[in-house]
Structure 1
Amino acid sequence: MPSYSEQWLTDRMTGGGRRLCAGGIFTFPLFSPFLVEHFKLTAPRLTTIVLAGMIGQYPFAAFVGKAIDLYGPWSCSLASSVLFSLGFGLFAHEIYKTLDDIAAPSKSSFERLTLYYFLAGLGTVTSYFSSLFAASKNFPEYIGIASGVTMAIFGLSPVFFSLIASTFFTDEGSELDVMHFITFMAILTGVVHLIGAINLQTTSLTTAEIVSGHEDAEDEENISEQTADERTSLITPKKLNVQVTVVPIEHNQSLIDILNDRYFWLLGLALIICVGSCEMIMSNLGSIVMTLPSSSSVPSSVATATQVRLLSLSNTITRLVVGPLADFASPMASFLPNGTIHYTRKHHISRVAFLSGASMLLVLTYTWMELGVRSREDVWVLSVGTGIAYGTIFTTLPGVVSGVWGLSNLGRNFGIITYAPFIGTPLFSYLFAFVSAAHASDGGVCKGEQCWRLTFAVTIISAAVSLFASVLLWRKWKGRV
């Protein structure tokens, strides 16, 4: 078996390209104006297509997680190769066969585009889960760093694709060549994930092996000598200077056990609000930019690309920072057969505090949209605030789920909890779409702050509810995560 550090390096090298190519669906704002013009789409129909990709990540999340628990991450990487190739490839083909000067919108084209983007969304979740749980299960003691680095590279995906789009698929003074750009995404994502399926693997590390990766040979010998009695703790607190607590915990809860836990539902409510509203902004960032006047002569397409990159970079940087910070402030516990948990470092604060911080940031960010935004240049606060909150939530969530309900069914449990945005994202997205459509003149593009003012008033109240829910969870799980 490779050493702990060698396995870490191998996972980072083989998985980086796959994660960098996994977020193609988040580039939708780059080509949404083209789709409106080319297919004569209304705002609700455009929202439906992007929602198909966004919520396509979630319907099968629990099944994807369970498949990883049973068969390993390689199987889902292979599925991603097929789904991305089909989704993006057929999407590009639909653009190719549709004339530029169609007189009226085609319902069948709209339905096919929705289906194809749904396939790409499903490919996103299989790719995301395969990378996340390969890292989390290989490095359970440093789940914050493992998941943070994994998701940071994933967060860079929109920046990576937007740079490719502007460099290779946009001529000077012209618009993006959408058909060829999406075709390129279909080929690249298919090939990269096929290679990932060949290389991806996980290892099963025991508590002693994890500890021995950080202790000298003498400490490793002392640990191994104490394994004869299954009721004897594997860790010597005085020797290793760790915190030991005895708590009742069940590692192999059934699905019914999870669903009967009211705090599971409270966590789900917080995620419905936070992730749902964040993904609404990610889907409609281009539309928000286009509603506002510009204080400069920068074209709307350039302004939109700038905001997409700001959101993506803030999301990425947050994951790189929050992962190690969470591991330091909230070290993950190791669970032993006799019900004992131990922390290898002092536990300073609950990981749920990071979720509370994200909720508070969203309250402030959405309030800024109500009170402070006057031009396109002011939208950067929304982009950065959304990116930080979104990155914080998804970096700390695997640690919260595994800390409360154990590691053995982490894939299944994480998959179930991610059904929350499957509810929240369409709720907030259709709220935005219908408010915008109600203020559009003669079925055209909506202009002005009235296009989204009601939407952000609702999200402010919702984010405050999420903050309250996360504080309750913080108090309930104090000392556990």
Structure 2
Amino acid sequence: MSPALATHLKLTQPQLTTIALAGMIGQYPFSAFAGKVIDYYGPWACSLVSAGLFSAGFGLFVREIAKTPIDTVAYNSSLYHRLTVYFFVCSVGTVFSYFSSVFAASKNFPRYMGLATGASTALFGLSPTFLSTVATRYFYHPDTGLDVVHFLQFLAFLCGCVHIVGGFTMHVLPPAEECVLRPFDTDTEDQGELEDECTSLLPKTSSVTSVEVVSNTDDDLRSQSILDVLKDFNFWVLAFVVSVILGSCEMIMSNIGTIVLSLPPRYSPTGSDIATSTQITAISLSNTISRLVVGPLADIVSPITSHLPPGSRGVLGKHLISRIAFLTFSSSVLICTYLWMVVGVHSQGGLGVLSIGAGIAYGCTFAVLPSLLSSIWGIHNLGRNYGVLIYAPFLGTPAFSYLYAFVAAGHAPADGSVCTGVECWRATFEVSGGIVALAFVATLWLWKAWRGKV
């Protein structure tokens, strides 16, 4: 939507970045609160909250655009501030939507948390591809570009209806948890009947590739306060890693439109909206595929045990590698991606590496975070702990985004048009690459500190 908003409302790059940023970082201030709602009430409550927030945010946003004359010659500062607030409201709806989906899945399938989290967040990550396709097919006109007004009206209606349905369906089901517990309870009188109802038809076989685990730590972690978590130095190291990886990726996502506009087409001129949509699709697909792959892969190579109830027994796969390795991989992908942006990109054709790299790192990180937190601090306060950790990008995202915005503004023409040329962002990716390298070193620290735990 950035090109259309810049043309219609006469917004500058820092102002566009601020509006887009409000749609990203608004997810974070209320993440801990959303986590507490999940832990106490359930995912259905978060879904209903997001229904109201999405409908209100998109509805008010489109109202402001619709009543602004097309022939506006200068931007209205109060309009700009209102648009920022409305996009912030939408982003608060995003965190409630995200939490309802992720924790409905992970708490219903605690033994396969990586797969459950990866699959649900993969659909979340796929939504930009779906919505970009809808936008370019049904709301795009070759002569005038994206019809922002009707597209946002569509989003307001769609998001409201979907999340109202989620209010009736997003529940954590106790029977699924009971079938995990009872087959291992040797004191139950109806053991034979429970085995028929809950156990696999094929017996589990033991081999050198699996180990029997007995978990009794999660009951101790149930009473752990948030202050206990914050006193752990390694929590802050993890927060730094998450802040850098997610913050720099979200800087790319919120500014991909103007990054595309800064470069000439590779072969022949094309519409900026179409070129931007292509990059959004690349980010979305790589984000989705990485979540679908990393979630189940983490369950296989790094099975977690802290979510098992006290005294329960089960056979899990052999622990082959720490889940921190997936964060190490994400940071290394970003280092290579940012290096490519500094030395290898001169046209829009080279931006595919940026979109794919950011999507992979972003999806991989989100796919392992819930299970990683469950391994260290237990499942009972998972929503709260996850919400607190997600405050980290609340600092990282604006830092990286404004780094990009002010570097671009410093090289923009005096007439206020969009900045063009690699100088618009080269310094941004040089600085970002150095910071991501520090995050890479921090993941190695955590790998050593949590050896055998995750």
Flag whether TM exceeds 0.5 (same fold).
yes
Aligned to 2:154: 184
Of 361, 366, 370, the residue aligned with 2:342 is 370
Matched, 1:262 2:223: no
Q: Where does 1:50-89 land on structure 2 (aligned, <5 Å)? A: 50-89=20-59
Q: Is the 8 A contact 2:181 2:309 kept in 1?
A: no
Aligned to 1:215: none
Supply the distance in 2 between the matched residues of 1:467 and 1:384 (Cα, whole angstroms): 19
Q: 1:205 to 1:467 in 2, by over 3 A?
A: farther
Q: Where does 1:449-460 land on structure 2 (aligned, <5 Å)? A: 449-460=422-433
Say which SS state the counterpart of residue 344 (structure 1) adopts.
strand
Aligned to 2:121: 151
**Alpha-carbon deviation of 1:211?**
6.7
Supply the distance in 2 between the matched residues of 1:405 and 1:288 (Cα, whole angstroms): 40
Supply the distance in 2 between the matched residues of 1:322 and 1:332 (Cα, whole angstroms): 14
**Alpha-carbon deviation of 1:332?**
1.8
Q: Where does 1:159-308 land on structure 2 (aligned, <5 Å)? A: 159-204=129-174, 209-210=179-180, 220=183, 223-225=184-186, 242-244=211-213, 250-297=221-268, 298-308=270-280
Supply the distance in 2 between the matched residues of 1:438 and 1:342 (Cα, whole angstroms): 60
Q: 1:208 to 1:195 in 2, by over 3 A?
A: closer
Supply the distance in 2 between the matched residues of 1:75 and 1:267 (Cα, whole angstroms): 29
Matched, 1:468 2:441: yes
**Alpha-carbon deviation of 1:108?**
0.7
Tell me whether 36-45 or 292-301 shows the greater mean CA deviation. Answer: 292-301
Aligned to 1:11: none
Supply the distance in 1 between the matched residues of 2:38 and 2:81 (Cα, whole angstroms): 31
Q: 1:137 to 1:449 in 2, by over 3 A?
A: same
Q: 1:70 to 1:369 in 2, by over 3 A?
A: same
Q: 1:36 to 1:247 in 2, by over 3 A?
A: same
Supply the distance in 2 between the matched residues of 1:339 and 1:277 (Cα, whole angstroms): 42
| Aligned amino acid, residue 433 of structure 1 | A
**Alpha-carbon deviation of 1:226?**
5.0
Matched, 1:445 2:418: yes
Aligned to 1:127: 97
**Alpha-carbon deviation of 1:204?**
3.4
Aligned to 1:330: 302
Supply the distance in 2 between the matched residues of 1:112 and 1:68 (Cα, whole angstroms): 30
Q: Is the 8 A contact 1:335 1:341 kept in 2?
A: no
Supply the distance in 2 between the matched residues of 1:251 and 1:142 (Cα, whole angstroms): 20
Q: Is the 8 A contact 1:350 1:478 kept in 2?
A: yes
Aligned Cα root-mean-square deviation (Å)? 2.0
Aligned to 1:410: 382
Q: Where does 1:99-110 land on structure 2 (aligned, <5 Å)? A: 99-110=69-80
Deviation track 1:366-418 (CA, whole Å, cap 9, x = no partner) reads: 00000111110000000000000000000011110111000000000000000
Say which SS state the counterpart of residue 65 (structure 2) adopts.
helix
Deviation track 1:183-236 (CA, whole Å, cap 9, x = no partner) reads: 000001001100110122102368772277xxxxxxx3xx221579xxxxxxxx
Q: Is the 8 A contact 1:40 1:105 kept in 2?
A: yes
Supply the distance in 2 between the matched residues of 1:457 and 1:342 (Cα, whole angstroms): 48
Q: Is the 8 A contact 2:136 2:274 kept in 1?
A: no
Aligned to 2:7: 37
Tell me whether 414-423 or 96-105 shows the greater mean CA deviation. Answer: 96-105
Fraction of identical pairs, as percent? 51
| Aligned amino acid, residue 186 of structure 2 | E
Tell me whether 430-439 or 198-207 shows the greater mean CA deviation. Answer: 198-207
| Aligned amino acid, residue 362 of structure 1 | L
**Alpha-carbon deviation of 1:476?**
1.1
Of 371, 391, 399, the residue aligned with 1:399 is 371
Supply the distance in 2 between the matched residues of 1:227 and 1:461 (Cα, whole angstroms): 58
Q: Where does 1:16-27 land on structure 2 (aligned, <5 Å)? A: none
Q: Is the 8 A contact 1:331 1:343 kept in 2?
A: no
Tell me whether 109-118 or 286-295 shows the greater mean CA deviation. Answer: 286-295
Q: 1:211 to 1:352 in 2, by over 3 A?
A: farther
Q: Is the 8 A contact 1:208 1:224 kept in 2?
A: no
Of 380, 400, 406, the residue aligned with 1:428 is 400
Which structure 2 residue ranges, 5 or more long, are not aligned? 190-203
Q: Is the 8 A contact 1:334 1:343 kept in 2?
A: no
Supply the distance in 2 between the matched residues of 1:263 and 1:68 (Cα, whole angstroms): 25
Of 312, 320, 334, the residue aligned with 2:284 is 312
**Alpha-carbon deviation of 1:250?**
2.5
Deviation track 1:34-63 (CA, whole Å, cap 9, x = no partner) reads: 111111111111111111110010001000
Which structure 1 residue ranges, 5 or more long, are not aligned? 1-30, 213-219, 229-236
Q: Is the 8 A contact 2:237 2:442 kept in 1?
A: yes
| Aligned amino acid, residue 287 of structure 1 | T
**Alpha-carbon deviation of 1:336?**
5.8
Supply the distance in 2 between the matched residues of 1:411 and 1:342 (Cα, whole angstroms): 25
Q: Is the 8 A contact 1:292 1:449 kept in 2?
A: yes
Q: 1:204 to 1:478 in 2, by over 3 A?
A: farther
Supply the distance in 1 between the matched residues of 2:421 and 2:48 (Cα, whole angstroms): 45
Supply the distance in 2 between the matched residues of 1:161 and 1:317 (Cα, whole angstroms): 17
| Aligned amino acid, residue 213 of structure 2 | V
Say which SS state the counterpart of residue 242 (structure 1) adopts.
strand
Supply the distance in 1 between the matched residues of 2:7 and 2:407 (Cα, whole angstroms): 21
Supply the distance in 2 between the matched residues of 1:227 and 1:259 (Cα, whole angstroms): 40
Supply the distance in 2 between the matched residues of 1:158 and 1:341 (Cα, whole angstroms): 41
**Alpha-carbon deviation of 1:444?**
2.0
Aligned to 2:65: 95
Aligned to 2:328: 356
